Amino acid sequence: MPANLTPQYLEAEAKFKQAKSVPEKIKALEAMMAVIPKHKGTERLRGQLKSRMAKLKEELQKRPAVSRAEQAYNVKKEGAAQVVLLGLPNAGKSNLFTHLTHAPSEVADYPFTTQNPIPGMMKFENLQIQLVDTPPIQMDRIEPGFPNLIRNADGLLIVLDLTDDPVFQMEVLLEELNRMKIRIGDGDPACPLEQGWVFKRAFLLGNKADLKNAMDGLRALESRFKDEWMVLPVSAREEMNFEEVRKEVFCRLDILRVYTKIPGKEPDLTEPVILRRGSTIEDVALSVHKDFAAKLRYARVWGSGKFDGQMVKRDYRVSEGDVIELHL
């Protein structure tokens, strides 16, 4: 006997597939169970839903309580992506953060000014990227929750003071990241990671580039690390290379922008749909409205197609800047 699932069920199922946290999955699963048709054709599926619900609730109960210190590092992601700033004391990280985001942060000439993570939004063209300023990293002392903040981020900005032995600073940061089982690079990892390790894309900001002897530090940093990371000299006071910072951050994020249009009308290029690289037309439809994915017949694409307005199927992979016209 066919299941004959309703559009309401398919919408709830789409929300479940997109849910990231256990509570979100439980909420979506409750909606699926509430609207699923009750007949013999769905008997097996209803049993699977109940089993999945039991496992999710068991997982939620097993999770350890989060301390107040860990809660401080639980920064909710907003915007197109989340990028965390890392540095040693007095690297000028908070000053850069304030100038890039215009968000308030503690800035002073003494170390350890920033006590807790502070989020702010950095504008790049027609989207917003969340930057998170963090307390300076200290040798052999990692605050509870700090590793999870870095692990959950979409990318990292490593801030180094060019006037104070930046090579040593970088070596300290790499050692502390290794203690957290976090490996960083300027591209994809060269080899598979060991169990428990994560890889994050990052690039280096050589700060205080306007000060005396800064270029000596830059040359030393490039000589040591140029084959592994891009090193961009910056200055918070002069706002030097800020546009390059924004551009390079976006290029290292695993995201792309597409735009939707209504048949017969021009697309709104000020409101992009943000997707992960490798996303398909079906993902575009899901981001617009859950019903679209279920009802989608085909789409037309301008940009990456063989010709403008090419008709494509739901499994077609979209590219940066594509304009998509969905047909139900």
| Greater pLDDT, 99 or 18 | 99
CA nearest neighbour of 218 among 164, 152, 150: 164
Phi, psi of 252 (to 5 degrees): -90, -10
What pLDDT shows up at residue 1? 45
pLDDT of residue 124: 96
304, pLDDT greater than 50? yes
Structure tokens that stand for 244 in this block: 């390059």
For residue 36, pLDDT beyond 70: yes
User: In terms of CATH, what superfamily is 255-327?
Assistant: Beta-grasp domain (3.10.20.30)
Average pLDDT of span 81-104: 93
User: Which residues 6+ apart lie within 8 Å of 152 measured at CB?
Assistant: 77, 82
Range of lowest pLDDT (31-40, 102-111, 292-301): 102-111
The pTM assigned to this predicted structure is 0.75
- Ranges 50-54, 82-86, 127-131, 249-253: which has the least confidence: 50-54
Q: Which CATH class is domain 68-252?
A: alpha beta
- Model confidence band, residue 110 (pLDDT cutoffs 50, 70, 90): very low
- How much is the pLDDT for 114? 58
So where are the chain's domains? 7-62, 68-252, 255-327
- Looking at residue 65, its pLDDT comes to 53
Q: Who has greater pLDDT, 282 or 42?
A: 282
> What is the rounded CA–CA span in Å between residue 14 and residue 163?
52
Q: Over the chain, what is the mean pLDDT?
A: 88
Residue 112 has pLDDT above 70, yes or no: no
Compute the average pLDDT of residues 21-50: 83
Cα(222)–Cα(94) distance, rounded to whole angstroms? 23
- pLDDT tens per residue, range 210-222: 999 999 999 999 9
HSE of 129, CA atoms in CB hemisphere, 13 A: 31
Who has greater pLDDT, 114 or 264? 264
* Mean pLDDT value of segment 228-238: 92
- Is residue 247 scored above 50 in pLDDT? yes
What are the DSSP calls for 109-134, one per residue? SSS----S-EEEEEEETTEEEEEEE-
> In the predicted model, is pLDDT for residue 57 greater than 70?
yes
Q: Which residues contact 79 (CB under 8 A, 6 or more apart)?
A: 121, 127, 128, 129, 130
Q: What's the pLDDT score for residue 301?
A: 96
pLDDT at position 111 over 60: no
The 10s digit of each residue's pLDDT in 124-180 is: 999 999 999 999 998 767 788 899 999 999 999 999 999 999 999 999 999 999 999
